[in-house]
Structure 1
Amino acid sequence: MKWKLLAMAALTGLAACDKSGFEYEDAAPGGNVRYSLIDTIGIGMRTIQLDSVPSSGTGYLVVGGYSDPETGRIDVAANFRVARPYSFPELDDRVVYDSIEIIFRPDAYSYGDTLPDQEWSVYQLARPLELDDDQTRFYTHHVFPHAATPLARESFPILPHRGDSIQLRLRDNFGRELMEKIRTKSEDVSTDVLFLDYMKGLQLRATRGTAVFRVPAADSAVVMRLHYHISTTEIEKYTIDFPIGNPELQFNEVHVDRSNTPLASLIPGPAGLLSSDAGNRTWVQSLSGMVTRLDFPSLTGLPLLGKYGKVMQATLELRPISGTYPQYALPPRITLCTATKDQVVTDTLSTVSGYQYGDLVTDLLYPENTKYAYDVTTYCAAIAKGETPITRGSWRSPLPAIITRS
């Protein structure tokens, strides 16, 4: 989620048909073709903080947090609905309440130090988790109100690669009230709409966390479970499961504190923080919407190639600064896309549906050669043809995405 980067670009134009490493058609016969290799293209880089990052309907609950001396402190809380089951069992006076818990099953993804204990908390939302009339989705900067007192709070570590689950026992008065409403067939649990008004929604957070975790927004990964029993000749134990509801409205709210870091002056907007003002470095942190923007002012000279010139190959290489990522592994891919001056992503000049992913090439012997490589031939060829003025590219890690490193 955080890398400091230096960039090097190699732009190749007008290559001869027998030039080593190049294969192309329609070259003039007899080898009467001149070529030029350009490797001094100037690149302007800056760190940009996007003012709004979509966060709902990503398919994942993201929760946790960590501190970094350069990017600051980031904390993520997941807001979601709990759905009413399709039907409730008939409960009579013999039913005895046992407990209520909520279970989260993270997938294998994590970011940060997972060994220390995390303090997990679950809060009930203060109003139903719904979009306002003027909203179409939730964003990371949205803060949804919740009750002051948590339904659960417990500290323990989670090792997702081991298949650990987050199991939190909720307050018994909450569980007893819910079971009584089911037993008496209260209106509060009679329909989905009324159940939402009663339950409202939940928030999962990990205060003082040292890592970020990801939980699929699916019935198999999130469930609130009510335990009860009936005493006859022996104790018969039963459960009622409440799955996650309407995953499209589940969203992750992100809180960032960058005070006392090199990014303390970074504010949302197109100006960003120039790499020249930050030790010739830029940063990327997808979860908070921090991206790196690359501008290529020298490329405006490519149309001077004229109608007889052609860009045969152009490659962009992004090299993480060696020694700046010992604690957290580099992501296997970083997304590259074209964008307007207002950071609106476009696909007019990219090669694969507007995005490239720059698979990581790691050199353990010579770490300075570790890089992400991108084919920007289409981008440069379009500029050489005069199809666009200064078109800007920006790159960012994939997020989910989520908070994803795919």
Structure 2
Amino acid sequence: MKRISVLAAMACLAACDKSGFNYDNIIDDGGSLQYSLLDSLQVQMRTVQLDSIRTSGTGTGLVGSYADPLFGKFTSSSSFRLGLPSETDPGLKAIYDSVELVLQPDGHYYGDTLPLQRFQVYQLSRPLVLPKDYDAFYSHQQFPVNDQPLADVTQRIRPTSGNKVHLRMNQQFGLELFEKIRSKSDDIKNEEYWRDYFKGLTIRGVDNSAAFRLLMNDTAVVMRIHYHIVKETVEEKTIDFHMNLSELQFNSYSYDRSGTPIAGLTPGADGIMGETTGNRTFIQPLTGAVTRIDFPSIAALKELGRYGRIMQAELVIKPDNGTIKNYPVPPRLTLTLADKKNVVTQGDTISNAAGVQYGNLVTDKLYPENNQYSWDLTEYCRAMMAADEYNYRGLLLAAPFSEFHTQLNRLVVGDGGSKQYRAQLKIYYLLYE
């Protein structure tokens, strides 16, 4: 198999124009057929900023903040509703003790978990309902909260231990709520009255060193009132307010990329070219940073339609190993078709009808610089050879959809001009000499 450049391929094929040539039925008559590898096509890569990310109804909350030297300062909060408890009659002899918010980390986190972490819990000042003409909440949205927090707790979190997080809340707030339950106040008469009185909660981190992912469902999130009754012995009891309407729970994100290689990244089609960021591009879908890939010279290959056929095309992307210390590399990435405005489009040239293809990470423990993701772009390259400016599609490189809205995984990859981690499009074609 020969490895040749685009120009060399053109020159060679220009000298062997055979009318009626059919690659599907041709028989090799002693060496006239030969595979060649074309691997010098330009791979143009840029980091682009997507619009706000849908974050409601994922079943997960992301809370906290941390500083990343390459992606900047990230801060996240989570808002949710609580439903009425089933137990609403503690009795006249009941004595209030305390109230707390109980949360369950699911093990996913980003940053340094060793230092103490500070969390604040606020009551919403407006009921948590979808705005008009919205069918979901997005990462840029925030609900107004009361001035004073219901909880302000500093403690150490062990996200992989399986232990729950207990945030002690304001005593006066808890006592007031307990008395409403005992007196059967109208504020807890039904869910509608309850929503008007207790509009929801927001939990946020304050100058943390890590962001933590929490389970968000009716069993994992509980606001718990503790009380006791004195009889012959002391009976300790609780009243639980469980999270409800999980489709309304959502996460709000903010980031500050000042001082990072992508400090100037703003929404739009242009993005930041890899050649201006050290021949690297950046991927962190949760903050909207993804990589766009284009092949500007692919149209020149349409001349091969008369003389040869693309038998296989493979895209290889390599992580920049110098950027992954303390930051796990995603086990897989996706490629999707995208128009000139970076809007994901449907198509059947990326392996399936949904227009998505997964690339799994292949690792080389002996030579880590060979770690890579790869995708089959055979049908894509065949289609783009004949594309015009209206139906041309680039590619977006990002995390799988199932992880897009809930994980902070990030990655830096080499672009087509990188020396050590060069991205390559390898095209294998059948050449008739």
**TM above 0.5:** yes
Paired letter, 2:26: A
d(CA) in 1 for partners of 2:174, 2:260: 44
d(CA) in 2 for partners of 1:302, 1:243: 61
Please tell me whether the aligned partners of residues 313 and 376 of structure 2 are also in contact (alpha carbons under 8 angstroms): yes
- Tell me the residue number matched to 1:44: 44
Deviation of 1:405 after TM superposition, in Å, equals: 5.5
Please tell me whether the aligned partners of residues 300 and 390 of structure 1 are also in contact (alpha carbons under 8 angstroms): no
d(CA) in 2 for partners of 1:251, 1:170: 21
- Tell me the residue number matched to 2:424: none
- Tell me the residue number matched to 1:402: 406
1:28 corresponds to which of 26, 51, 59: 26
- Tell me the residue number matched to 1:281: 280
d(CA) in 1 for partners of 2:108, 2:271: 30
- Tell me the residue number matched to 1:5: none
Deviation of 1:357 after TM superposition, in Å, equals: 2.6
d(CA) in 2 for partners of 1:276, 1:381: 27
Deviation of 1:334 after TM superposition, in Å, equals: 1.9
- Tell me the residue number matched to 1:360: 361
Please tell me whether the aligned partners of residues 62 and 213 of structure 2 are also in contact (alpha carbons under 8 angstroms): yes
d(CA) in 1 for partners of 2:387, 2:131: 45
Paired letter, 2:176: E
d(CA) in 2 for partners of 1:294, 1:57: 31
Deviation of 1:280 after TM superposition, in Å, equals: 1.6
What secondary structure is seen at the aligned counterpart in 2 of 1:131? coil
d(CA) in 2 for partners of 1:30, 1:274: 44
Please tell me whether the aligned partners of residues 113 and 210 of structure 2 are also in contact (alpha carbons under 8 angstroms): yes
Identity %: 44
Counterpart check, 1:216 vs 2:215: yes
Please tell me whether the aligned partners of residues 318 and 370 of structure 2 are also in contact (alpha carbons under 8 angstroms): yes
Please tell me whether the aligned partners of residues 127 and 200 of structure 1 are also in contact (alpha carbons under 8 angstroms): yes
Deviates more, 1:306-315 or 1:273-282: 306-315
What secondary structure is seen at the aligned counterpart in 1 of 2:270? strand
- Tell me the residue number matched to 1:73: 73
Deviation of 1:42 after TM superposition, in Å, equals: 0.6
d(CA) in 2 for partners of 1:221, 1:317: 41
d(CA) in 1 for partners of 2:341, 2:315: 22
d(CA) in 2 for partners of 1:192, 1:302: 65
Q: TM-score, normalised by structure 2?
A: 0.83
Paired letter, 2:38: I
Deviation of 1:224 after TM superposition, in Å, equals: 1.1
Paired letter, 2:404: P
d(CA) in 2 for partners of 1:386, 1:192: 56
Deviation of 1:291 after TM superposition, in Å, equals: 0.8
Deviation of 1:97 after TM superposition, in Å, equals: 0.8
Q: Deviations over 1:105-140 (max 9, x none)?
A: 111212222111111211111111111113222111
What secondary structure is seen at the aligned counterpart in 1 of 2:203? strand
| 1:227–1:40 Cα change, 3 Å | same
Q: TM-score, normalised by structure 1?
A: 0.88
- Tell me the residue number matched to 1:391: 393
Please tell me whether the aligned partners of residues 131 and 137 of structure 1 are also in contact (alpha carbons under 8 angstroms): yes
Task: Kindly report which structure 2 residues correspond to 1:139-154, keeping only aligned pairs within 5 A, or say none.
Answer: 139-154=138-153
- Tell me the residue number matched to 1:254: 253
- Tell me the residue number matched to 1:378: 379
Task: Kindly report which structure 2 residues correspond to 1:83-102, keeping only aligned pairs within 5 A, or say none.
Answer: 83-85=83-85, 87-102=86-101
Unaligned runs of at least 5 residues, structure 1:
1-9, 14-24
Deviation of 1:404 after TM superposition, in Å, equals: 6.5
Please tell me whether the aligned partners of residues 286 and 408 of structure 2 are also in contact (alpha carbons under 8 angstroms): no
Please tell me whether the aligned partners of residues 361 and 373 of structure 2 are also in contact (alpha carbons under 8 angstroms): yes
d(CA) in 2 for partners of 1:267, 1:282: 14
Deviation of 1:27 after TM superposition, in Å, equals: 5.3
| 1:255–1:405 Cα change, 3 Å | closer
d(CA) in 2 for partners of 1:185, 1:326: 56
What secondary structure is seen at the aligned counterpart in 1 of 2:323? coil
- Tell me the residue number matched to 1:3: none
What secondary structure is seen at the aligned counterpart in 2 of 1:98? strand
What secondary structure is seen at the aligned counterpart in 1 of 2:87? coil
d(CA) in 2 for partners of 1:80, 1:400: 20
Paired letter, 1:49: Q
Counterpart check, 1:312 vs 2:302: no
d(CA) in 2 for partners of 1:331, 1:317: 15
Counterpart check, 1:182 vs 2:186: no
d(CA) in 1 for partners of 2:291, 2:91: 61
What secondary structure is seen at the aligned counterpart in 2 of 1:29? coil
Paired letter, 2:133: D
Q: Deviations over 1:314-334 (max 9, x none)?
A: 111111122221121212122
Please tell me whether the aligned partners of residues 119 and 155 of structure 1 are also in contact (alpha carbons under 8 angstroms): yes
d(CA) in 2 for partners of 1:91, 1:327: 49
d(CA) in 1 for partners of 2:164, 2:358: 31
- Tell me the number of residue pairs that the alignment of Structure 1 and Structure 2 aligns: 384
Deviation of 1:281 after TM superposition, in Å, equals: 1.6
Counterpart check, 1:64 vs 2:70: no
Unaligned runs of at least 5 residues, structure 2:
10-22, 411-433
Please tell me whether the aligned partners of residues 110 and 408 of structure 2 are also in contact (alpha carbons under 8 angstroms): no
d(CA) in 2 for partners of 1:394, 1:51: 14
Please tell me whether the aligned partners of residues 228 and 237 of structure 1 are also in contact (alpha carbons under 8 angstroms): yes
d(CA) in 2 for partners of 1:33, 1:40: 22
Deviation of 1:154 after TM superposition, in Å, equals: 1.5
The RMSD of aligned alpha carbons is 2.3
Please tell me whether the aligned partners of residues 299 and 386 of structure 2 are also in contact (alpha carbons under 8 angstroms): no
d(CA) in 2 for partners of 1:136, 1:380: 37
| 1:302–1:216 Cα change, 3 Å | farther
